[in-house]
Structure 1
Amino acid sequence: MIFCKTKEHIASNKHSLMEDFSIKDLGDLKLCLGIEIHRKREDGTIKMNQKAYIKRLSDKFGVENCKDVHTPADSNSKLVKMGQEEAFVPKYPHLDLVGALMYIATCTRTSIVHAVGEVAKFCERYDNSHWTAAKRILKYLKTTQDLIIVFSDINKEELIGSRMQTGLATSARSVRQKDTFSL
């Protein structure tokens, strides 16, 4: 992958690399590590999503036909640590799902960061409540799989952003915030 501000710089870098290495120009990047990339040079935007990856995970973890879920976490749920005296028998592919959710949260879906962080706290010892919470996040992703992250030209005069966070209650209070701001 070559990232440059102008096509001329890209061509120059490609030419330099071709002098030392045998490379093949595959054109504009469309898919990388499960992330679909759509670039529109004319309006200076790059749009990214992980719809296909979310679909594969939904099929793998059995939520492909689930009811729609509109928040990544149930604010009425409280996740608690399993007691040390309880026998821990891993029954679910919890670690696989949490790892996949972390990847999605890191790449394109920041709306699930808090909820994923909460279920990740219990990777060492988890039970059905933790598994259910992790699957809820995946159900939310399936419901909202058409959402994309958009990066636009930084030369524009106004920057608008929003943040919404709805989290699991791990103490007596739950976390629920929504902010919109313009700079």
Structure 2
Amino acid sequence: MLLISENDNAREKAKQSQLNDHFECKHIGKVSHLLSVKFSHSNDGSVTRSQQAYIQRLLQRFHLEDARSATTAIEVRPFFLEKDESEDTNAKVPYKELIGSLLYLAQRTRPDISFAVGELAQQCSKLTVQHWNSAKRVLRYLKETMEIDITY
């Protein structure tokens, strides 16, 4: 799958023609949804990407739709600065699933969570209750800021 974004129709047609010369292509026009990303096209040529529906599905999957939201993605004194000797929770929670979902968001539409998720991703092999709570905090932050999107 190849997604082409071009403001100039003539250049877009030229690119499509070049691709058709080498590959069998199907042109579907403007994309509105692709891989859990919503695309909104403006008259000025800008494109806005958002993932509100994906965030809502994550809140439901991890049973946080009724949880209190958070105003920051990470605590003031982050978990990775403290020694935590609490119980290992590796087998008890879907930590890797949540981190993978958060990484997907960070890479597509939410770079504001990249630092927190990157730090949390490093804890997959030595997971503690504090790490799990911090990962859920990122999701609660996304609940608070669900309307944030990216415009190009």
For normalisation by structure 1, the TM-score amounts to 0.70
Does residue 145 of structure 1 match 2:146? yes
- Please list the CA deviations of residues 57-83 of structure 1 after superposition, one character each: whole Å capped at 9, or x if unmatched: 111111111112111112145345666
- 1:36 is matched with which residue: 35, 38, 41? 38
- C-alpha change, 1:88 and 1:19, in structure 2 (3 Å) is closer
- Superposed CA RMSD in Å reads 2.3
**Alpha-carbon distance, 1:47 to partner:** 0.9
Secondary structure at 2:115 match in 1: helix
* Residue of 9, 12, 16 corresponding to 1:10: 12
| 1:94-133 equivalent positions in 2, closer than 5 A | 94-133=95-134
Unaligned runs of 5+ in 2: none
Native 8 Å contact 1:69 1:143 kept in 2: yes
Task: Find the counterpart in structure 2 of residue 25 from structure 1.
Answer: 27
Count the aligned residue pairs.
148
Whether contact under 8 Å (2:79, 2:131) holds in the other structure is no
Q: Which has the higher strand share?
A: 1
| Cα separation, partners in 2 of 1:90 and 1:19, compared to 1, 3 Å | same
Quote the residue 1:64 is aligned against: 65
1:2 is displaced (CA, Å) by 2.5
Q: Give, in angstroms, the shift of residue 18 of structure 1.
A: 4.5
Aligned-residue identity in percent: 31
- In structure 1, C-alpha distance between the alignment counterparts of 2:113 and 2:88, rounded to whole Å: 30
Quote the Cα distance in structure 1 between the aligned partners of 2:79 and 2:23: 55
Aligned mates of 1:31, 1:76 — CA distance in 2: 38
Secondary structure of the corresponding residue to residue 43 of structure 1? coil
The TM-score with structure 2 as length reference comes to 0.83
Query: Is the partner of 1:101 in helix, strand or coil?
Result: helix
Distance 1:14 1:126, change over 3 A: same
The alignment partner of 1:129 has SS state of helix
Q: Which amino acid aligns with 2:37?
A: I
Q: Which has the larger radius of gyration?
A: 1
Q: Highest relative contact order (Cα 8 Å, sep 6+), 1 or 2?
A: 2
Q: SS where residue 125 of structure 2 aligns? A: coil
Measured after TM superposition, the shift of residue 138 of structure 1 is 0.5
> Contact 1:35 / 1:48 at 8 angstroms: preserved in 2?
yes
The alpha carbon displacement at 1:7 in A equals 0.5
**C-alpha spacing 1:16/1:61, structure 2 compared with 1 (3 Å):** same
The gaps in structure 1 that reach 5 residues or longer are 152-183
